[in-house]
Every structure is written in C-alpha cells, then in structure tokens.
Chain A
C-alpha cells in the first residue's frame, strides 16, 4: 500500500518524463490548466504511463472524473487496495 505522498512522487517522475519538464512540481490541486503541455494528447500518454507504472487500468468514466492530480492519486490508491 502506497501513501498519497509516495504516489505523488511517482507521478511527478512520470509527468516530468512525459512532458519533458524537469522543474515540474505536482501537488494534489494541480490541474491540466496549470501545466504547460498537459493537453488532450499528452493526457492519453500520461494515463498509459501511469497505468504501466502502477499496474492498474482505468476505464473511461474514471478518467473523465479526474479533475486534478489529487483525483488521479485517489483513483490509483483505490485501484491498488488489496
């Protein structure tokens, strides 16, 4: 079981890599609007990298509901529950 802080740190790494921005610092309230390059296209890529890294799979409804990074963390934590 990972804590939110651990998930957030892992997400930071994925986002930095995919968006090619090493200075990125995600918080739970970060939205796509706050991050340069986080758009419809890179979102697809981010989701698939997150799925790979955490060994989870999101359905369409779950992805639609994610409004910020905190929602993404919660969705990951929820999927990883034993």
Chain B
C-alpha cells in the first residue's frame, strides 16, 4: 500500500494526519456528547473492517445525527467506496428508488433501519459490535482514489426520477485545495457548525474541513426546531465558524436584538440567495465575524465562488447578495441565448468549467449531454443561474434562469417583482412570484409570506414601481413558506399550496 501522507493537499491524507496528531482532542460534539479524534477513528476502523468484505462500490448510509454515521462516511472513503445518504424523513419509495438507482448492496445505519422490510438488502447496524482498540485505518493508494467516487448526491429531477450527482475524490481534492486557499484563519482550537442534512452537499465541507485542522465539529440535533437549535448551539458553545442557510436567520429575525455571538469569526451564508438586508440586520449580532457568501451547484463540488460581504456597499441585484469571484482553478463565463460570451455588465447564463466539475450525472447520459457543453477544448456545465460580471470582475447573481419568463413578448425577471413586494414589507417577509398557466396564457401570482391582509396598498406600491405587464394577476398569502430538505424555499410546494 502506497502511503501519501507527505502530499498535504490530499484531503483524506490530511484528515488522517490531523487525527493522529490531535488524537485526544475533541473531533465531534453530538447531542452534547464529546467524541475525540481517537474515538471517531476507532469507530472508522471498525466500520472499515466490516466494509472490507463488501464487493460493491456504493454503500448506503442512513442520514442520522450519530458518531457512527459520520464514522461510516469516513470509512466509505477509507475503503475506496462512494457513500449515498438515505434519509429517515424521505418517503420509503424514494429511498427504495435511490437504492435501486445507485446500485446499493449494503446499508449502514446507527439506530434507525429505515428501509422497507420487503427490500431484501443487507443492512449493518454500526452502533452494535466491538469498538476494538484499533487505530487509524490505512489509506487506499493515491492512484486508485483519484478516480473513485466519494459520494453521490441525489436531487429531485424534473422528470420525477431523482438525478444522481457523483463527485470523485479528484473533484473533492480540487475543491479542498481551492477552499483552503481562501485564507481562513482557523486551527485546532476552532469550533465549527455542521447544520446541514447529509443529503445536501454543504454537509460534506461542514464535516470534513474541520477534521483537516484537528478542530471540533458541532452537529445539530434532528429533533426540535432547527433554527432554534442552530442559534442555541452557536451561542452556548461559542462557535467560531458557522455556515448557515439564510432561512435560519430569516426565522430568527424577530429576536436579533437579543442575540449575540462575540466569538464568531466567520459566518458563511449558502444554499440559496442571501438577502442583503437580512445580513445587514444580523451584523450587529456578530461584531467580530466576516460574512462570506459561498455559491456553487452540487455538480461543481459544493462551492465554487466566494464574495465577502462588506459592512457597507454590498454588491447586490434585486436584494440578492453578489456571489463574487470564482475559486482558484475554476473558470466562469456568462453566455447569451446563442451560447456566445457576453460583455461585462450584461446578464446571461453562468457556465462553469474546471477540476471541481463532475464528469456526468449518474447513469443518465442524455441529461448529462443536455447540461454540458464542450467549447474551446473545455467542458462547461450550464448552471441555469443568471449572472453578470461587473467591472471589478465580481459575479452578480441575478436569479434562476427558469425564474425568468416571457409574457406578451416581454422578458420578465420574477426576482424583480419579488424584490419590489419585499420592499413594501420593509424586507421583513419573503415573497415569491410564480408564473402559472392560466386561461389567458402565462399569469403571474405573487405569494407573500405574511398573514392574509388587504392587498390594496401592496398593489399600489407595485403599480408605482413596475410596468403593467409585470403586475401580478393575483396575490396570495402564506403565513410561512415551506422549505425543502436543503433549507431552500420550496417553490414547487408553494405552487401546490396556492393551487
């Protein structure tokens, strides 16, 4: 077996080195219980031994908040297998579909065997059995690992079949090299948050990056209210780094004046477009923290652009914070409908290229062909996101491409109407505009996250700012917007709720 610990850029090798060096330091805090690096890696070694007899390349792991769950993810990597998360909250049918699609032949779980009984599949309870005094497992050979898939994230596809995004160790190492070069001043004394569901890729960096430093990861309990749990954890354990979805902050907004996190040095906002006004309102709660917006599609490995949000003069579009500059090694181009590059300050679709890009969707060549373009010898992924480059070379995020519609020949950016509605409520609530098929063609429906009320004043506000063709045909109220598993506003669900 070739040992490659000398190569510090290699993610798994770095984690292994940190684990050996910081053996007695805390690696994970789960439900108030502290686990040291030695404890975590003893568990990893035990699971690795169980996986040695498994011939399959893909292992299923139940997404739980347990030491054994996190150890299973590492064990999959150390044995050169890809992990796929099955979620206790998913309908049984969806888990079954993912098992079939990914070719999972073994499922690891800590406490909950969530698979339907009629699915004949070996399951292994990782919380049972010996936790022998085994040390850190050896690494697989470097050459073997590079092309090996590290994880597959399944997201809902528009056709009803979940689409799998396989990310290789080569992708992950490229991401890691770029991410660590962002200049974080973090070390083994830092305390970092992991609030994301394991089915969502931001959980990957939230979990492994602290381990490369010998630092401590704080996970969020699955029971109870997530936004309360997150802020409570940040406050009581004086976390120094937190990557959060803006929805956490949005829900806690009425309590900002009571909240204070003086130890926090970095607040990363991610998962969906951040509201500039919301961050400004939260800033007094985190007097010593830098606020950083990180953007990236799952297909390009977690994040691939960064924008540091300044205290004054935040770059934004319709209230959405800019996404800034691409990570080292990644290339971004803005193209028009004809696929030709657009000049500065012109909005078009964002295409990404570089070593963080996956090579294609899991067993879906047609979908892959639709989303990738080869141009000048480079492979580009079409993100479906609208952006423009400003004169400083920063990427300004302008919303989803499918959030742009054409009505009566006019190109309409739904985000602009949403921004205008939020403005009316002084940015205290969220708003979504849906383009629905009505009797007379495409109709705009504005949905406001607010208790039902008279719409006359709101309508007047919209009329004073928007051309007639952009005015919503109907206004709906929902007291709270539903979120999907990735903590993003669930637009398809809102569509059902108002339907």
Residue positions of A touching B, CB distance < 8 A? 18, 31-33, 39-45, 59-61, 63-64, 67
Instruction: Say yes or no: B483 contacts A60, CB within 8 Å.
Output: no
CB of B110 within 8 Å of the partner chain:
no
- Near A by CB (< 8 A), chain B positions 240-282 give 251-252, 255, 258-259
A45–B224 CA distance with the chains assembled, in angstroms: 15
A59–B256 CA distance with the chains assembled, in angstroms: 10
Instruction: Say yes or no: A41 contacts B251, CB within 8 Å.
Output: yes
Contacts A33-B223, A60-B231, A64-B228 given; indicate if A44 touches B255 (C-beta within 8 A): no
Q: Which 3 A-B pairs have the closest CB atoms?
A: A41-B480, A60-B255, A60-B258
A63 smallest CB distance to B (angstroms): 6
Chain B residues whose C-beta falls within 8 Å of the C-beta of A41 in the assembled complex: 251, 480-483
CB of B227 within 8 Å of the partner chain:
yes
A41–B489 CA distance with the chains assembled, in angstroms: 11
A42–B226 CA distance with the chains assembled, in angstroms: 12
CB of B55 within 8 Å of the partner chain:
no
CB of B232 within 8 Å of the partner chain:
yes
A68 smallest CB distance to B (angstroms): 10
Contacts A60-B231, A60-B252, A60-B258 given; indicate if A43 touches B223 (C-beta within 8 A): no
Instruction: Say yes or no: A42 contacts B480, CB within 8 Å.
Output: yes
B112 smallest CB distance to A (angstroms): 13
Residue positions of B touching A, CB distance < 8 A? 223-228, 231-232, 251-252, 255, 258-259, 479-483
7 contacts between A and B (CB under 8 A): A39-B225, A40-B228, A41-B481, A44-B480, A60-B259, A61-B258, A67-B224
Most buried by A among B251, B480, B481, B483: B480
Determine which of B224, B251, B258, B479 lies in contact with A32 in the assembled complex, contact meaning CB atoms within 8 Å. B224
Chain B residues whose C-beta falls within 8 Å of the C-beta of A43 in the assembled complex: 225, 228
A82–B172 CA distance with the chains assembled, in angstroms: 60
A59–B231 CA distance with the chains assembled, in angstroms: 13
Contacts A60-B259, A61-B258 given; indicate if A40 touches B231 (C-beta within 8 A): no
B171 smallest CB distance to A (angstroms): 32
B437 smallest CB distance to A (angstroms): 27
Chain A residues whose C-beta falls within 8 Å of the C-beta of B251 in the assembled complex: 40-41, 44
Most buried by B among A39, A41, A43, A59: A41
Instruction: Say yes or no: A32 contacts B225, CB within 8 Å.
Output: yes
A62 smallest CB distance to B (angstroms): 10
Chain A residues whose C-beta falls within 8 Å of the C-beta of B223 in the assembled complex: 31-33
Given contacts A32-B223, A40-B226, 14 further A-B contacts (CB under 8 A): A31-B224, A32-B225, A40-B228, A40-B483, A41-B480, A41-B482, A41-B483, A43-B225, A43-B228, A44-B251, A45-B479, A59-B258, A60-B231, A60-B255
B32 smallest CB distance to A (angstroms): 14
Chain A residues whose C-beta falls within 8 Å of the C-beta of B258 in the assembled complex: 59-61
Chain B residues whose C-beta falls within 8 Å of the C-beta of A33 in the assembled complex: 223-224
Q: B247 — nearest CB in chain A belongs to which residue?
A: A40
A10 smallest CB distance to B (angstroms): 19
Determine which of A31, A45, A59, A67 lies in contact with B480 in the assembled complex, contact meaning CB atoms within 8 Å. A45
Chain A residues whose C-beta falls within 8 Å of the C-beta of B255 in the assembled complex: 59-60, 63
Q: A43 — nearest CB in chain B belongs to which residue?
A: B225
Chain B residues whose C-beta falls within 8 Å of the C-beta of A18 in the assembled complex: 479
Chain B residues whose C-beta falls within 8 Å of the C-beta of A59 in the assembled complex: 255, 258
Chain B residues whose C-beta falls within 8 Å of the C-beta of A42 in the assembled complex: 480
Chain A residues whose C-beta falls within 8 Å of the C-beta of B232 in the assembled complex: 64
A61–B479 CA distance with the chains assembled, in angstroms: 23
A68–B479 CA distance with the chains assembled, in angstroms: 23
Instruction: Say yes or no: B225 contacts A40, CB within 8 Å.
Output: yes
Chain A residues whose C-beta falls within 8 Å of the C-beta of B252 in the assembled complex: 60
Q: B479 — nearest CB in chain A belongs to which residue?
A: A45
A63–B225 CA distance with the chains assembled, in angstroms: 10
Most buried by B among A31, A42, A43, A44: A44
A40–B228 CA distance with the chains assembled, in angstroms: 8
Chain A residues whose C-beta falls within 8 Å of the C-beta of B482 in the assembled complex: 41
Instruction: Say yes or no: B227 contacts A40, CB within 8 Å.
Output: yes
Chain B residues whose C-beta falls within 8 Å of the C-beta of A61 in the assembled complex: 258
Chain B residues whose C-beta falls within 8 Å of the C-beta of A31 in the assembled complex: 223-224
Chain A residues whose C-beta falls within 8 Å of the C-beta of B480 in the assembled complex: 41-42, 44-45
Q: B482 — nearest CB in chain A belongs to which residue?
A: A41
Chain B residues whose C-beta falls within 8 Å of the C-beta of A40 in the assembled complex: 225-228, 251, 483
Q: B230 — nearest CB in chain A belongs to which residue?
A: A40
Chain B residues whose C-beta falls within 8 Å of the C-beta of A60 in the assembled complex: 231, 252, 255, 258-259
